[in-house]
Amino acid sequence: MTIRDFKTIATNRCFDGVQGVYSHASTETRTTMRFSVFTPPQAAHGPVPVVWFLSGLTCTEENVTVKAGAQRVAAELGLMLVAPDTSPRGVDDGGETVPDDPDGAWDFGLGAGFYVDATEAPWSRNYRMFSYVATELPQLIEAEFPADMAAQGIMGHSMGGHGALTMALRHPGRFRSVSAFAPITSPLNCPWGEKALGGYLGADRSLWRAHDTTALIADGARCPHILVDQGLADGFLDSQLKPQLLEEVCMATGQPLTLNRREGYDHSYYFIASFMEDHLRWHAAALKE
């Protein structure tokens, strides 16, 4: 793999490991993409397991890096944490500005790539976040960091929970562990998903099924035991997230699922930080078997 313009933006010593932020010129999105990597101290002695974190609407790689409090536990467990951005940004390699929602809405366009490869203009030029996260960035991580790519887990929040679950279901055998915080469980059945998939993929709803967790499971896709935490004080619970749809399809098909409903917790990073350690230990147990 040829890595273009790979740069280290910042590194900081953190729990005897290194928290870094990096960028490179992406061939998938045709833009400069940023991502963060926490490299634990155990990496000094050889490759370590990798856990991906996919962020939610309006977020960048910075949110989980700064707010989740994940590095202490990751350092203890010897886990590398990788967090990509949520969409292309800026000006691309052809001098074109990456398009955003024409009405300036926060749930589509910049910060809201939904981890799909867009097929509709003007989004198809840059919005290729599925291939970026599934193929291009893993190749870069393998080439540039002490990562054990035979031991990968994936997790995410909200839109990123949707991304983590669909990535795992569409790549059987790649991820030994998968978890999510307040995931969008069925984009086919919520306003966020209908807007995003309709805009990026077009009006044919049959094409959306490849990016809908409940549809993928119903259609036969499987992944390792899924861990989900959902706050019951989440303002998006009933209208956008609908964990009961995931619970129902998993029960009907035998897909293993642990769904923790957390009383009093909302959609924020206070919620994520409260249960991040649980999720990292879940991943570590699977990755070190």
CB 255 within 8 A of CB 249: yes
Can you tell me the distance from the alpha carbon of 77 to that of 59, in angstroms, rounded to the nearest whole number?
Answer: 26
SS (H, E, C) 51-62: EEEECCCCCCHH
Which residues, at least 6 apart from 33, have a Cβ–Cβ distance to it below 8 Å? 23, 24, 25, 26, 84, 85, 88, 132, 137
Question: Known catalytic residues?
Answer: 158, 234, 267
Tokens of 71: 């590095």
Other Cβ atoms less than 10 A from the Cβ of 46: the count is 8
Paired tokens of 5: 């313009």
As a residue count, the chain comes to 289
Matching residue, tokens 């990292």? 280
DSSP E strand boundaries for the chain: 4-14, 17-25, 32-39, 48-54, 80-84, 147-157, 175-181, 226-231, 257-262
Contact status, residue 129 vs residue 87, Cβ threshold 8 Å: yes
* 138 in Cβ contact with 80 (< 8 Å): no
Query: Are 32 and 25 in contact, with CB atoms under 8 Å apart?
Result: yes
